[in-house]
């Protein structure tokens, strides 16, 4: 069951392009959702951090210091700052965990985190009015099954730049596919988790492009809640359309386009040597349970769509 976050207006239903922003009205806004500053263990001040992202063409960021709730700022000189924070604890089963909360109304009460389960921590962030994202599960050491009961989270970090450049544990794609295969609709987010310990080497590595009509905290959070974004470490997905069982993808020049589903229901399309792909068609298996698209450019950068659930004509049969 998809999490119906607080940003979902009453009356909206499942057939509202959940997870697919392409073809929706609005503009694309580039955002970075996991950033630290001197308010916790980062080495740059919030002002230095916002200036860095603004100078790189970002439209919005979230400051997510450990245990410190940042304040939102409506666009000043073009950069929207969402409020947020990162919390951590030790779950009796899952062990160490981190969660990111965005758009919180208040600082959640989080004492005794060493004895707070991941689910309880999730619920406290929800009670504080936020969207909750599972941070870097591969780096934390969680198994996919540890995350199955987090039914209030909207997504997980599928790419965490800091975890990748510091510890080679940035990609959590298997966790994502395991949860999708289990029927959990979770969005996939690419983030920096920038700490600035070595200059800006862990900044500007992973981001999301959000489709929204306006650049405000409410509109951007509502779009993220609905999965109206794609994640990237470089390339862009230009279009993703589903007509019956036929999938059409357009992207910036890439060397491979992946159509990923449950188990073996997947396919990689590779460009001819020295060539690039900018559009691909693919026919879904009738039993396809979900579909997500990933595009890789010649420099090794990725763009990841969000999953479209129950896409095969027989996907619901036997469920
Ligand atoms: Zn973390
Ligand atoms: Zn962090």
DSSP 3-state of 189 = strand
Q: Does 7 map to a domain?
A: no
Q: Are 168 and 199 in contact (CB under 8 A)?
A: no
The least confident of 27-41, 70-84, 109-123, 163-177 is: 109-123
CA distances from 208 to 3, 134, 234 (A): 20, 16, 10
Q: How far apart are CA 100 and CA 153, in angstroms?
A: 10
Residues 141, 216 within the same domain? yes
Q: Is residue 132 part of a domain?
A: yes
Of 208, 230, 252, the last residue of a domain is 230
Residue with the bigger pLDDT between 242 and 15: it is: 242
Instruction: For residue 187, report the distance from its CA to the centre of ligand 2, in Å.
Output: 18
Residues 128 and 144 in one domain: yes
pLDDT band at 217 (very low <50, low <70, confident <90, very high): very high
Report CA(240)–ligand 2 centroid distance (Å): 31
Residues 281 and 191 in one domain: no
Total domain count, the chain: 2
Which of 39, 30, 302, 31 is closest to 195 using CA atoms? Answer: 39
Average pLDDT of the chain is 91
In a domain, 4, yes or no: no
Q: How far is it, in rounded angstroms, from Cα 184 to Cα 203?
A: 30
Interval between CA 297 and ligand 1 midpoint (Å): 28
Q: Which ligand is nearest to the CA of 193?
A: 2
Are 170 and 127 found together in one domain? yes
Per residue in 140-191, pLDDT (tens digit) is 999 999 999 999 999 999 999 999 999 999 999 999 999 999 999 999 999 9
For range 253-263, the mean pLDDT: 96
The reported pLDDT for the residue numbered 149 is: 94
CATH number for the domain harbouring residue 218? 3.20.20.140
**171: CA distance to ligand 2 center in Å?**
15
Enclosing domain of residue 297: 237-309
16 Cα–ligand 2 center, Å:
32
Written as six digits, the tokens of 149 are 């009961």
What CA–CA distances, in Å, run from 42 to 139, 268, 308?
18, 39, 36
Measured in angstroms, how far is the CA atom of residue 250 from the centroid of ligand 1?
33
Alpha carbon of 58 to ligand 1 centroid (Å): 22
| The predicted structure's pLDDT at residue 5 | 46
CA of 96 to the centre of ligand 1 (A): 10
User: Which ligand is closest in space to the CA of residue 192?
Assistant: 2
Give the C-alpha separation, 181 to 75, whole Å. 38
Residue 175 lies in a domain: yes
Distance 99 CA to ligand 2 centre (A): 9
Do 102 and 217 reside in the same domain of the chain?
yes
Top pLDDT among 57 and 107 is at 57
Q: Is residue 132 within 8 Å of 101, Cβ to Cβ?
A: yes
- Residue 190 within a domain: yes
Let me know whether 42 and 80 are in one domain.
Answer: yes
Q: Are residues 140 and 242 in the same domain?
A: no
Does a structural domain hold residue 5?
no
Q: Is the CB of residue 218 less than 8 Å from the CB of residue 7?
A: yes
- Which pLDDT score, from 0 to 100, does residue 78 have? 80
Say yes or no: 289 and 189 in one domain.
no
CA distance 270 to 12: 38
Last residue of a domain, one of 190, 215, 230: 230
pTM over 0.85: yes
Residue 121 Cα to ligand 1 midpoint, Å, equals: 14
- Coil, helix or strand at residue 139: helix
Do 49 and 162 share a domain, yes or no? yes
- Distances 188 to 51, 113, 185, 243 between C-alpha atoms, Å: 26, 26, 10, 23
Q: Using the mean position of ligand 1's atoms as its centre, give its distance from the Cα of residue 99 in Å.
A: 7
Domain identity same for 292 and 269: yes
How many A from CA of 37 to the centre of ligand 1?
Answer: 13
Mean pLDDT, to the nearest integer, of 241-247? Answer: 93
2 pLDDT above the threshold of 90: no
Do 110 and 250 have their domain in common? no
> Percentage of the chain surpassing pLDDT 70?
91
Q: Identify whether 100 is part of a domain.
A: yes
C-alpha 262 – ligand 2 centre gap (Å): 30
Ligand 1 mean position, distance from CA 246 (Å): 39
Does residue 1 surpass a pLDDT of 60? no
CA of residue 120 to ligand 1 center, whole Å: 17
Share of the chain above pLDDT 90, in %: 81
How far is ligand 2, taken at its centre, from the CA of residue 34, in Å? 6
Does the pLDDT of residue 216 top 90, yes or no? yes
Task: Find the CATH number of the domain harbouring 285.
Answer: 2.60.40
**Number of Cβ atoms within 10 Å of the Cβ of 6:** 14
Ligand 1 centroid to 251 CA: how many Å? 31
- Residue 127 Cα to ligand 2 midpoint, Å, equals 21
261 lies in the same domain as 201: no
Q: What is the chain's percent helix, strand, coil content, to nearest 5?
A: 20, 35, 50
Asked, for residue 3, whether it belongs to a domain, the answer is no
- What's the pLDDT at 17? 80
Tokens of 18: 């959940």
Cα(278) to centroid of ligand 2, in Å?
34
- Calculate how far, in angstroms, residue 306's C-alpha sits from the geometric centre of ligand 2: 22
């Amino acid at each position: 069951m998809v999490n119906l976050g607080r940003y979902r207006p009453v009356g909206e239903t499942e057939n509202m392009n959940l997870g697919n922003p392409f073809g929706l009205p609005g503009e694309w806004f580039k955002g970075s959702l996991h950033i630290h500053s001197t308010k916790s263990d980062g080495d740059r001040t919030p002002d230095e951090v916002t200036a860095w992202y603004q100078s790189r063409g970002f439209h919005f960021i979230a400051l997510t210091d450990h245990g410190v709730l940042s304040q939102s700022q409506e666009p000043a000189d073009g950069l929207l700052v969402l409020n947020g924070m990162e919390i951590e604890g030790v779950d009796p089963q899952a062990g160490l965990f981190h969660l990111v909360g965005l758009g919180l109304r208040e600082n959640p009460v989080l004492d005794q985190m060493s004895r707070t389960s991941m689910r309880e921590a999730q619920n406290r962030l929800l009670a504080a009015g936020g969207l909750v994202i599972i941070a870097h599960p591969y780096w934390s050491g969680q198994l996919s099954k540890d995350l199955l009961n987090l039914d209030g989270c909207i997504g997980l970090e599928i790419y965490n730049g800091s975890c990748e450049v510091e510890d080679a544990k940035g990609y959590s794609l298997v966790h994502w596919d395991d949860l999708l295969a289990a029927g959990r609709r979770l969005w996939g987010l690419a983030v920096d988790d920038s700490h600035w310990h070595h200059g800006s080497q862990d900044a500007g590595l992973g981001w999301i492009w959000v489709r929204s009509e306006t650049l405000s905290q409410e509109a951007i959070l509502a779009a993220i809640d609905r999965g109206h974004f794609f994640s990237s470490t470089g390339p862009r997905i230009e279009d993703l359309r589903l007509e019956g069982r036929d999938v059409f993808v357009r992207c910036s020049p890439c060397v491979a386009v992946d159509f990923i589903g449950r188990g073996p229901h997947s396919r990689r399309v590779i460009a001819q040597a020295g060539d690039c792909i900018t559009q691909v068609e693919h026919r879904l298996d009738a039993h396809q349970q979900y579909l997500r698209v990933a595009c890789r450019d010649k420099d090794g950068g990725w763009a990841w769509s969000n999953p479209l659930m129950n896409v095969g004509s027989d996907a619901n049969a036997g469920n």
